[in-house]
Structure 1
């Protein structure tokens, strides 16, 4: 089974956030950044990768994503700011 990633994209610090899951983090974030993914992230300009978490398999990542989507916004913000207080774009660190 493929590894999986849960990630959070944001429009800006304390802006709109989106939680997603993928087996190809670099490719998926690139799609969001270029506006190639129709829907929520394109509509709200969520182009900054502000948090991600690796999982051994995609199913575990999907479970975590569904869990996090149920969280309060304040919990998601706290998670981001624990490791990325300034909401810096982490995409350049992936290469």
Structure 2
């Protein structure tokens, strides 16, 4: 039986003023895609320079990852920041863990 791992993640711009929420099966691949799009109009995340990983959760099932993504997208910015700081108090870039 094959084991899968899915991720729900939050990216931010360097100034930590904008947040992007998504889910993926390959976080390292997705981070490279986001970084490659920075400063372009190819995507929302790219246009606002959201390429720094500040939060992530792992899931065994894709439906759980999608459900959390949808939930987080409904949250106020202050609640997202509190969640990020619960795992990453200084809101440091976590990209290095996946490259």
**TM-score normalised by the chain length of structure 1:** 0.89
Structure (1 or 2) with the larger CA radius of gyration:
2
For 1:9, what is the secondary structure of its paired residue?
A: strand
In the other structure, the counterpart of 1:79 is 83
- Equivalent runs, 1:39-78 vs 2, <5 Å: 39-78=43-82
Tell me how many residue pairs correspond in the alignment: 95
The structure showing larger relative contact order (alpha-carbon pairs under 8 Å, at least 6 residues apart) is: 1
* Structure 1 residue ranges, 4+ long, deviating more than 3 angstroms after superposition: none
**Does the CA contact (< 8 Å) of 2:37 and 2:43 recur in 1?**
no
Q: List gaps (5 residues or longer) in structure 2.
A: none
Residue-by-residue CA offset, 1:63-91 (whole Å, 9 max, x unaligned): 11001111111110001111212221101
Q: List gaps (5 residues or longer) in structure 1.
A: none
Cα separation, 2, equivalents of 1:14 and 1:34: 19
In the other structure, the counterpart of 1:12 is 14
**TM-score normalised by the chain length of structure 2:** 0.86
CA RMSD of aligned residues (A): 1.8
